[in-house]
Structure 1
Amino acid sequence: MIDYIMEMFDLAVDGDKQGFMFFICLYALVVCGYSVLFQLRVARWPETKGALLQNGVSKIGGTELVTSNQEYIASALYEYVVDGKHYQGKRVSPWVMVASHNAKFLLEKQRRGIHQYADGGVRVFFNPNNPKKSFLIKPGKLGIAFTLSLAVGPMLLYGYSYTI
């Protein structure tokens, strides 16, 4: 295996497409693979009831002259209690989405995934080992499967392209 990686490194240094593709696929495997493991951990976090203080879509970066170039993220501020201790959270979801002005509707759709109780409270998922880390939306099976396909898919395509 080490010999193969060294061979791909030599190909990449020489500017060969196969060498570059190998390392791009390896990068996708590592980054998306880590994301899958993180999402699986978060999916098992316990929940508590919290109070939503702010919920919206916020501009990030400077104000753009061309509206369609402006970028946005979902933003929230919420409070919750774990074992009698009060915490505040800002993270909406483990899926951090940045959207342009034209794609802001995706952030609105993401925000609809926040479960609100009839009394206005929200469901908060927290890390049992570090309760100050929390999210309002837990990763779902479809999202985890999609990330897994992004991790494994490129390497499978690479293997198909360069072994046949």
Structure 2
Amino acid sequence: MSTTRPYPPPGEPGPEAEGAASPVTPPPAGQVRRLRLVGVSGAVPRSRDFARQALQDWGWLPAATADHRAAAEDVLLVVSELVTNACLHADGPEELRVSCAGKVLRLEVVDLGAGQPAPRTPHRAGRPGGHGMFIVQRLCLDWGVVRHDGRPGKTVWAELAAPA
């Protein structure tokens, strides 16, 4: 989990990453796309489709270059891992939020779980399962957890660089 800088509250995009490139077509300032997931079957594919549509609307897809394609695939993989983690360990996700501010795309998954997501250590690449948060840690600029005040649950957030 991030210990390198303070993280903003849920729904508020984090600071821009130094040296990252601008997104192809930035979304309107302050736009946060939200997908309610309470009681939804197929939350992971639905979340990927939702994120893919945002990437299409913002000009990331169809990808013009291999780097753009890799950046979009990383976003979709992180969405899958965060939502899957909420399904398996936090009684299911409540909401997915996707936003892009400047040079950073931010993903947030809200759930009711009390657990603390963390990459398994030591990471054992050859074993099935348990790779989700390790993948998030490796692909993202930063990630963290925000606890909800006065109610159960948390928001797990992750930030990725926009494609060059």
TM-score by length of 2: 0.25
Which structure has the higher relative contact order (CA within 8 Å, separation 6+)? 2
Larger Cα-atom Rg? 1
Higher helix share: 1
TM-score by length of 1: 0.25
